[in-house]
Structure 1
Amino acid sequence: MTCWDSGGSVVMCEGTDHDGDIQAGATLSYVDNGDGTITDLNTGLMWEKKSDDGTIHDQDADYTWDNTFTVHVATLNSSTFAGHTDWRVPNRKELESILDLETFNPSVDPVFNTGCEPACTVTTCSCTLPSLVYWSSTSFASVPSIAWTVGFINGSVAGNSKSGNGFVRAVRGGL
């Protein structure tokens, strides 16, 4: 597996936190649970699917970083989404773990982007809108007003101001 640094030079993946390091040798393997969630069989993480139906799960619902916790995740937990009340915003490594850098636009396994058509629900489709970044719960250590994000159009990982808008795909379990 090949990884690149921020300048575009080829680097070893090991110890870089790139997709190649996180998934070292593991074949991506997911199961659609049929209840609006997808389970990663390698990590045990359960992911929220995204829809195109105007609900809390809608792929177009964007939030500031703070609102990912106080609005999106709080709503999932108070409604006991998919029978669980421990939903949260994924950390950077967890969000990177679903990247599939063998694909482009979106750089995610097809299980996260299947049957996405207008009005589809979280149990009938799975959407990944690549045009905005997805928030992680991980802040920059040196600049607390910035959080790590993942762009699923091409697998980019970058920092963005917490006052800007982005998407959120909630998770439960832990790496």
Structure 2
Amino acid sequence: MKTGVIIPSRQLPKTGQTPSIIGFDDGHYYAGWWKGLTYLKNKERFIAKTLTEDDHDVVIDNATGLMWAGDGNKEGCNNGATITWNNAMIAIAALNAADGFAGFKDWRMPNYIELFSLLVLDPALVIAVKPLIYEPPFDNTKRSPYLTSTAHVETTTNAYLIPFTNAAGIGGSKAAMPAYLRLVRGGV
């Protein structure tokens, strides 16, 4: 991603857990680089943009330097449909080989840590039965599992998936288990 701005290396993002459930937990320390949607001098963590005449919505994450597909029902998220890991890799390669997305041709499936960085561990979202992610800017995010490019440690025929219902990653078959997809670029 070319922004014309040199971005220094960052710490890990905050989890989003704001209340302290028990002393000295993550809500107490609130460790990490970012707090909520704004940082120093009201600088926003996420910048939502619509790029190209095809209305490609993207979100730039200032905490990680990554650019994400923004709308869960549009092309950068497989038009809101589930897809297997193997088929997603083929579809991403075809997308990049053709016109790309939002004017870029280097989109990829996020790894486990990258996708996990979008989770917001806010009990209010769980109670409201909403996905654990900021909406907006990540519109139409499903609560079901999303694909990551990270192979499962026990068997490489499986990959880690992250559901936006909780912070528990799960394993799923690359060939057989369909899940949702959100493309990312940069940060590698």
Answer whether TM exceeds 0.5 for this pair.
yes
**Unaligned runs of at least 5 residues, structure 1:** 3-10, 14-19, 114-125
Q: Based on CA coordinates, which of the two structures has the bigger radius of gyration?
A: 2
TM value normalised by structure 2: 0.67
Amino acid corresponding to residue 80 of structure 1 in structure 2:
G
Distance 1:42 1:156 in 2: 22
Aligned-pair Cα RMSD in Å: 2.8
Contact 2:159–2:173 (CA<8 Å) still a contact in 1? Answer: yes
1:133 aligns with 2:145: yes
Percent identity, aligned pairs only, is: 30
Q: Which residue of 1 aligns with 2:47?
A: 31
User: d(CA) in 2 for partners of 1:172 and 1:56?
Assistant: 11
* In structure 2, distance between residues paired with 1:68 and 1:39: 22
Change (3 A) 1:74 1:164: same
Looking at structure 1, the residues matched to 72 and 150 of structure 2 have their Cα atoms a distance apart, in angstroms, of 25
TM-score where L is the length of structure 1: 0.72
Which of 102, 105, 113 pairs up with 1:85? 105
> Separation in 2 of the partners of 1:75 and 1:108?
28
CA contact 2:116–2:162 (8 Å) conserved in 1 = yes
Displacement of 1:51 in angstroms is: 4.5
Letter aligned with residue 108 of structure 2: R
In the alignment, which of 116, 120, 131 is matched to residue 100 of structure 1? 120
Check if 1:76 corresponds to 2:92: no
1:48-67, aligned counterparts within 5 Å?
A: 48-52=69-73, 57=77, 60-67=80-87
- Classify the secondary structure of the residue corresponding to 1:82: coil
1:5-44 to 2 correspondence within 5 Å? Answer: 24-28=32-36, 29-35=45-51, 36-44=57-65
Distance across 1 between alignment mates of 2:48 and 2:76: 19
Which residue, 169, 172, 184 being the options, matches 1:157?
A: 169
Unaligned runs of 5+ in 2: 1-13, 16-23, 37-44, 52-56
CA distance in 2, matches of 1:60, 1:85: 20
Pairwise CA distance, 1:140: 1.2
